Chain A
Amino acid sequence: MKSAVIVFPGSNCDRDLAVAIRDVTGVAPVMVWHRETALPEGIDLIGVPGGFSYGDYLRSGAMAARSPIMRAVADAAGRGARVLGVCNGFQVLTEAGLLPGALMRNAGISFVCRDVALTVANTDSAFTRLYDAGETITVPVAHHDGNYTADPETLDRLEGEGRVAFRYAGAVNGSARDIAGVLNEAGNVLGLMPHPERMIEAAHGRSDGRRLFEGLVESVAA
Chain B
Amino acid sequence: MTQPSASAITPQIVADHGFSPEEYERVLHAMGREPNITELGIFSVMWSEHCSYKSSRLHLKKLPTTGPQVICGPGENAGVVDIGDGQAAIFKMESHNHPSYIEPYQGAATGVGGILRDVFTMGARPIANLNALRFGRPDHPRMRHLISGVVSGIGGYGNCVGVPTVGGEVNFHPAYDGNILVNAMTVGIADTDKIFYSAASGVGNPIVYVGSKTGRDGIHGATMASADFGEDSEAKRPTVQVGDPFTEKLLIEACLELMASDAIVAIQDMGAAGLTSSSVEMASKGGVGIELDMDAVPCRETGMTPYEMMLSESQERMLMVLKPGREDFAEAIFRKWELDFAVIGRVTETGHMVLTWQGETVADIPLAPLADEAPLYDRPHVPTPKRAPLADVPESGGVGADLLRLMASPDIASRRWIWEQYDHMVGADTVQRPGGDAAVVRVHGTPKGLAMTTDCTPRYCFADPVEGGRQAVAEAWRNLTAVGATPLAVTNCLNFANPQRPEIMGQIVGCLEGMSEACIALDFPIVSGNVSLYNESKATGGGSAILPTPAIGAIGLLADWTKSATIAFKSAGETIALIGETRGHLGQSLWLREIAGREDGPPPPVDLATERANGDMVRTLIQSGAVSAVHDVSDGGLLVAIAEMALAGNIGAELTLLDGAGPAFGEDQARYLVTLPAGVPLPEGATAIGVTGGESVAGVPLADLRTAHEGFFPTLMGRAALG
Task: Tell whether A and B belong to one assembly.
Answer: yes
Interface of A with B (CB < 8 Å)? 9-10, 12-13, 15-16, 19-20, 50-52, 54-57, 109-114, 140, 142, 144, 195, 197-198, 202-204
Q: Is the Cβ of A10 less than 8 Å from the Cβ of B426?
A: no
Chain B residue numbers with a CB within 8 Å of A19 are 428
Against A, the Cβ 8 Å flags (1 = close, 0 = not) of B415-436 are 0000111111111110100000
B198 CB, min distance to chain A CBs, angstroms = 27
A202 to B161, CA, bound (A): 26
* B161 A9 Cβ-Cβ under 8 A: no
Chain B 226-251 near chain A by CB (<8 Å), digits 1 or 0: 00000000000000000011110110
Would A55 and B160 count as touching, CB distance under 8 A? yes
**What would be 17 A-B contacts, judged by CB atoms less than 8 Å apart?**
A9-B250, A9-B337, A10-B160, A12-B160, A12-B426, A15-B427, A16-B427, A20-B428, A50-B426, A52-B162, A54-B246, A55-B160, A55-B247, A57-B246, A111-B155, A197-B428, A203-B561
* Residue pair B420, A112 in contact (C-beta under 8 Å): yes
Starting from the known contacts A10-B246, A111-B156, A203-B428, 5 additional A-B residue pairs (CB-CB under 8 Å) come to A12-B426, A52-B246, A113-B422, A203-B561, A204-B428
Say yes or no for B631: interface residue by CB 8 A criterion. Answer: no
Measured between C-beta atoms, what is the minimum distance from A32 to chain B in Å? Answer: 14
- Distance in angstroms from A13 CB to nearest chain B CB is 6
Residues of B within 8 A of A9 (CB): 246, 249-250, 337-338
Cβ–Cβ contact A142 & B425, under 8 A: yes
- Complex contacts, A52 vs chain B, CB 8 Å: 159-160, 162, 245-246, 249
Contact check, B429 vs A203: say whether CB atoms are below 8 A apart: yes
CB distance B249 to A12 under 8 Å?
Answer: yes
List which B380-427 residues lie within 8 A (CB) of chain A. Answer: 419-427
Q: Is the CB of A113 within 8 A of B249?
A: no
Q: Does B442 contact A (CB under 8 A)?
A: yes
Interface residues of B in 153-169 (CB under 8 A from A): 155-156, 159-162
B binding-site residues for A, Cβ under 8 Å = 152, 155-156, 159-162, 244-247, 249-250, 337-338, 419-429, 431, 442, 561-562, 722
**Within 8 Å CB of A16, what residues of B?**
426-428
From residue B571, how far is it (CB to closest CB) to chain A in Å?
17
A113 to B420, Cβ gap below 8 A? yes
Are A55 and B722 in contact (CB-based, < 8 A)? no
* Bound-complex Cα distance A111 to B428 (A): 18
B420-A12 in contact (CB<8A): no
Partner of B421, one of A54, A55, A110, A204: A110
Tell me whether B421 and A112 are in contact (CB under 8 A).
Answer: yes
Distance in angstroms between the alpha carbons of A144 and B422 in the assembled complex: 10
- Taking CB atoms, residues of chain A closer than 8 Å to B561 are 203
**With known contacts A113-B421, A114-B420, A203-B442, A12–B162 Cβ distance under 8 A:** yes
How near does chain A come to B446, taking the closest CB pair, in angstroms?
12
* Chain B residue contacts of A20, Cβ below 8 A: 428
CB–CB A140/B425 < 8 A: yes
Contact B162 A51 (CB under 8 A): yes
A204–B421 CA distance with the chains assembled, in angstroms: 19
How far apart sit A156 and B171, CA to CA, in the bound complex (Å)?
A: 49
CA–CA, A190 and B562, complex, Å: 33
Q: Which residues of A contact B424 (CB under 8 A)?
A: 113
Residue of B nearest to A14 (CB): B162
Residue ID in chain B nearest A15 by CB atoms: B427
A142 adjacent to B423 (CB under 8 Å): yes
- The docked-state distance in angstroms from the alpha carbon of A204 to that of B159 is 19
A204 cross-chain contacts in B, Cβ below 8 A: 428
User: Complex formed: what's the CA distance from A20 to B428 in Å?
Assistant: 10
Q: A-B pairs with the 5 shortest C-beta distances?
A: A12-B162, A55-B246, A52-B160, A142-B423, A16-B428
Q: Who on chain A is nearest to B722 by CB?
A: A109
Residues of B within 8 A of A54 (CB): 246
Which A residues touch B338, using CB under 8 A? Answer: 9
* From B162, B419, B561, residue with most partner A Cβ within 10 Å: B162
Q: Which of B160, B247, B419 has its CB near the most chain A CB atoms (within 10 A)?
A: B160
Identify which of A16, A55, A112 gathers the most chain B CB atoms within 10 Å of its CB: A55
A51–B160 Cα gap in the complex (Å)? 7
On whether the beta carbons of A203 and B421 are closer than 8 Å, the reply is no
Shortest C-beta distance, A37 to chain B (Å), equals 16
Q: Contacts of B155 on A, CB cut-off 8 Å?
A: 111
Given A54-B246, A57-B246: A202 in contact with B562 (beta carbons within 8 A)? yes
Given contacts A51-B162, A55-B160, A142-B426, whether A10 and B421 have CB atoms under 8 Å apart is no
Q: Max chain A CB contacts within 10 Å: which of B156, B420, B425?
A: B425
By the criterion CB–CB under 8 Å, are A55 and B245 in contact?
Answer: yes
Bound CA–CA A77/B250 (angstroms): 29
Q: Which residue of B lies closest to A195 (CB)?
A: B425
Q: Which residues of A sit under 8 angstroms from B246, Cβ to Cβ?
A: 9-10, 52, 54-57
Per the bound structure, the CA–CA distance linking A142 and B426 in Å amounts to 8
Shortest distance between the CB of A178 and any CB in chain B (Å): 19
B420 to A55, Cβ gap below 8 A? no
- Measured between C-beta atoms, what is the minimum distance from A170 to chain B in Å? 14
Cβ–Cβ < 8 Å partners of B245 in chain A: 52, 55
Cβ of A202: which chain B residues have Cβ within 8 Å of it? 562
Chain B residues contacting A15 (CB-CB under 8 Å) are 427
Docked pose: A9 CA to B722 CA in angstroms: 29
What residue in chain B is nearest A199 (Cβ atoms)? B428
Complex interface: chain A residues within 8 A of B244 (CB): 55
Find out whether the CB atom of B337 lies under 8 angstroms from the CB atom of A111: no
A110 to B423, CA, bound (A): 12
State whether B160 touches A56 (Cβ < 8 A): yes
Q: Are B428 and A12 in contact (CB under 8 A)?
A: no
Contact of A10 among B249, B419, B427, B428 (CB under 8 A): B249
For the complex, what is the distance from the CA of A63 to the CA of B567, rounded to whole Å?
Answer: 44
Given A9-B337, A52-B160, A203-B442: A198 in contact with B425 (beta carbons within 8 A): yes
CA distance A204 to B442 in the complex (A): 11
Instruction: List chain A residues, Cβ under 8 A from B250.
Output: 9-10
Q: Which of A51, A113, A195, A198 has the most CB of B within 10 A?
A: A113
Please give the distance in Å from B654's CB to the nearest CB on chain A.
28
Query: A13 touches which one: B247, B419, B426, B562 (CB < 8 A)?
Result: B426
Q: Distance in Å from the Cβ of A117 to the closest Cβ of chain B?
A: 15
Which A residues are in CB contact (< 8 Å) with B249?
9-10, 12, 52, 55
Verify A13–B162 contact, CB threshold 8 A. Answer: yes
Once bound together, how far apart are the Cα atoms of A15 and B426, in whole Å?
A: 10
Chain B positions within 8 Å of A113 at CB level: 159, 419-425
Cα A56 to Cα B156 with chains together (Å): 11
